[in-house]
Amino acid sequence: MTTTTAKFLRSRISKVCVAITGTTPAEMVEKATAVIKETPFLEFRLDYLNKPLLALPLLKQFFIENTAVIAIATCRRSANGGKFDGTLNGELDVLIKASEAGFHLVDLEIESAEALKKAELQKQREAGAALLISHHDFNSTKDLDRVFARIQVFEPDFVKIVPTAKSLIDNVTLIRFLERVSDSANVVGICMGDAGIISRVLGLRAGGAFTFASASSGDETGPGQIDARSLIDHYRIDQIDAATKIYGVAGNPVKSSLSPIMLNSAFRRETVNAVYLALQATKLPDLLKLIHEIPIQGISVTMPFKQEVMAFLEKTDPLSTKIGACNTILRAPDGKLYGFNTDVSGVIRPLEKRISSLRGAKVLVLGAGGVGRAAIFGLRDKGADVFILNRTPETAQKVAKQSGAKTIKREAIAKTTFDVIINATSVGMAGQKASSLLEPKELNTKLVFDLVYNPLETPLLRMARQQNIPIITGVEMFVQQGARQFEIWTGKPAPEEEMLRVVLHALRKQADTSLEASVAKPVKLKIKAK
């Protein structure tokens, strides 16, 4: 294919190429038909079919009926990370016939290109489709310039380099690579893995020709791949440019966090040119380096970094200093990092909607970790009488001494009456074995507040409902702390109703039970001060 034709082809393709999989040709066409109105740039993974050649007549008819579609044919052999168990010549035969059937590009892995004779590769070029040569490293991110030079020997129309991000900073390696070479070639660069989401969203801004997405959640063709609707709707990938500010939630794990959905929806609602990413971090130095290299303007800090990050901040708000934990970072124009703790607001504001005054209220807090400390110090700051039960008594005693709270033994709980019981542990969180910290006889309280937001109804909340005890779900805490983060970063009022709506919608997709009534209509309690 000529350079002019390749340029014309690039001018027609969209920024997102949707990977289409299926066990039958009919299933592939059905999936493709469902996505082409929004994203007409498709990759058909022919290697997912038992007999790829038999699918080509149906796909040829699909292209005739859908002339706006631009399609890539991929038939990756199992030796190179694909599913095709045929020979090299078998792969080449499929790609040549795919070109003749109307595919606009074919994806040939570098290992296959190097194994083919020059005359065989020429047959592929003569078939008419543009040639994309790809390289996949399923273990690491190494010398990308060397890989690029290796591919360029074949003078392809498009280059695709896909390493695996073992750390956040691997994304920076890929982005810097794209910035260096994008003016000289049509390059697609993506990092696989949970830590690679940055490259999938920001690679285009660095000069990448396009990025890949799955047709839907569960149809991923590579580790860490994002579904097309999320890339377009949540991350607004078509609108990301050099002025887009980058934010994210950092911790381990963060894959299931709903913060990206919530904060990206808030940015969209308030027309803020920003994007919010899930940053899978295993080591704090890796995260801190990323913040300065990208640069990232703000971070939601979650487990296990809330306390460790304090030592690297220029300054923190008074409550963060007291608590010794920070969940929100703002990067100033001079690059210095400032810390805040919005977990406190996330706990206090929902309680103040139900309780006329927290002063003198008797509160049991289960847990003394990062969010537990925020609840304890925040409540003590409001004058509440706080009791701590923690798995490790020594930790509870230390926090109690620092905050002016008290510790309590498990056997004393059933004999004690509280105004509020708060779960600040991860017990009951989605993905964990269903369990509860307390027995029904121990819920001697007027109100139960579970800070776990996923699932909507935790074992503790279910137990409280069964005893007709008013509850507060963790969704309220989650939205409130996120709203304060939005305000710190943007200086604008947070669209709390929209944030609540998208979080509830996401959680309802994961569970049938809805607790919207208890979240939206708080029960006002009268609690007398001591």
User: pLDDT for 193-227, tens place per residue?
Assistant: 999 999 999 999 999 999 999 999 899 999 999 99
Beta bridge partners of 148: none
Distance, CA of 330 to CA of 296 (rounded, Å): 9
The rounded distance, in Å, linking the Cα atoms of 125 and 16 is 25
For 421, the 3-state DSSP assignment is strand
Active-site annotation holds for 528: no
Fill in the amino acid letter for 502. V
Evaluate whether 327 touches 301 at the Cβ level (below 8 Å).
Answer: yes
Closest CA to 195 of 107, 274, 255: 255
* CA neighbor of 38 nearest in space, from 199, 266, 213, 157: 213
Confidence band for 229, pLDDT divided at 50, 70 and 90: very high
Contacts of 448 (CB under 8 A, 6+ apart): 420, 421, 423, 460, 461, 464, 469, 470, 471, 472
Chain centre distance of CA 3:
37
Is 344-480+509-520 the same fold as 3-226? no
- The DSSP call for residue 418 is B
Strand 298-301 and strand 328-331: pairing?
A: antiparallel
Those residues with Cβ within 8 angstroms of residue 336's Cβ, 6 or more apart along the chain or in another chain: 314
d(CA 310, CA 326): 7
238 vs 235: CA distance, rounded Å: 9
Beta strand segments in 21-175, E:
41-45, 70-74, 105-109, 130-136, 158-162
pLDDT at 521 over 80: no
> Which residues neighbour 131 within 8 Å (Cβ) at sequence distance 6 or greater?
1, 105, 106, 108, 124, 125, 154, 156, 157, 158
Share of the chain above pLDDT 70, in %: 95
Residue 269: how many other CB atoms lie within 10 Å = 15
What are φ and ψ of residue 63, in 5° steps?
Answer: -70, -35
pTM over 0.85: yes
Residue 26: Cβ-neighbour burial (10 angstroms; 0-12, 13-18, 19+): exposed
For residue 520, pLDDT over 80 is answered with: no
Q: What is the mean pLDDT of residues 25-39?
A: 96
Reduced to 3 states (helix: H, G, I; strand: E, B; else coil), residue 527 is coil
3-state secondary structure of 194: helix
Average pLDDT over residues 53-77: 97
**Average confidence (pLDDT) over 28-55:** 96
Tokens matching residue 136: 């996949």
| E strand or H helix that includes residue 448 | strand 448-450
Topology of domain 344-480+509-520, per CATH?
Rossmann fold (3.40.50)
> Which residues have a Cβ under 8 Å from the Cβ of 116 and sit 6 or more positions away?
88, 92
**211: helix, strand or coil:** strand
Min mean pLDDT across 9-13, 70-74, 125-129, 277-281 is at: 9-13
Tens-digit pLDDT profile for residues 91-130: 999 999 999 999 999 999 999 999 999 999 999 999 999 9
Q: Kindly indicate whether the domain formed by 3-226 is annotated with CATH number 3.20.20.70.
A: yes
Cα 376 to Cα 299, 322, 418, distances in angstroms = 23, 11, 15
Question: Going by DSSP bridges, is the β-strand pair 420-423/274-280 parallel, antiparallel, or unpaired?
Answer: unpaired
Which of 67-76, 291-300, 455-464, 483-492 has the lowest average pLDDT? 455-464
3-class DSSP state of 348? helix
Q: Which residues pair with 330 in a beta bridge?
A: 298, 338
Given a cut of 70, whether residue 512 has pLDDT beyond it is no
Fill in the amino acid letter for 254: V
Q: How do residues 381-417 score in pLDDT, each as one tens digit?
A: 999 999 999 999 999 999 999 999 999 999 999 999 9
What single-letter amino acid sits at 427? V
pLDDT at 517: 43
Beta bridge partners of 161: 135, 189
Domain ranges of the chain: 3-226, 344-480+509-520
Output the six-digit token pair for 495.
Answer: 């669209």
Q: How far apart are CA 528 and CA 357, in angstroms?
A: 8
| pLDDT at residue 293 in the model | 96
Q: For residue 262, give the H/E element and its range.
A: helix 259-269
Mean pLDDT of 159-186: 97
Catalytic residue among 15, 160, 306, 362: 306
The residue among 295, 294, 293, 335 whose CA lies nearest residue 313 is 335
The CA distance from 252 to 363, in Å, is: 30
Which two tokens mark 250?
Answer: 């950092």
Residue 443 has pLDDT above 50, yes or no: yes
Exposed / middle / buried, residue 2 (Cβ in 10 Å: 0-12, 13-18, 19+): exposed
Euclidean distance between CA atoms 518 and 476, whole angstroms: 10
pLDDT band at 255 (very low <50, low <70, confident <90, very high): confident
C-alpha span between 71 and 19 (Å, rounded): 10
Report yes or no: 71 and 95 within 8 Å, Cβ to Cβ.
no
86, 46 in Cβ contact below 8 A? no
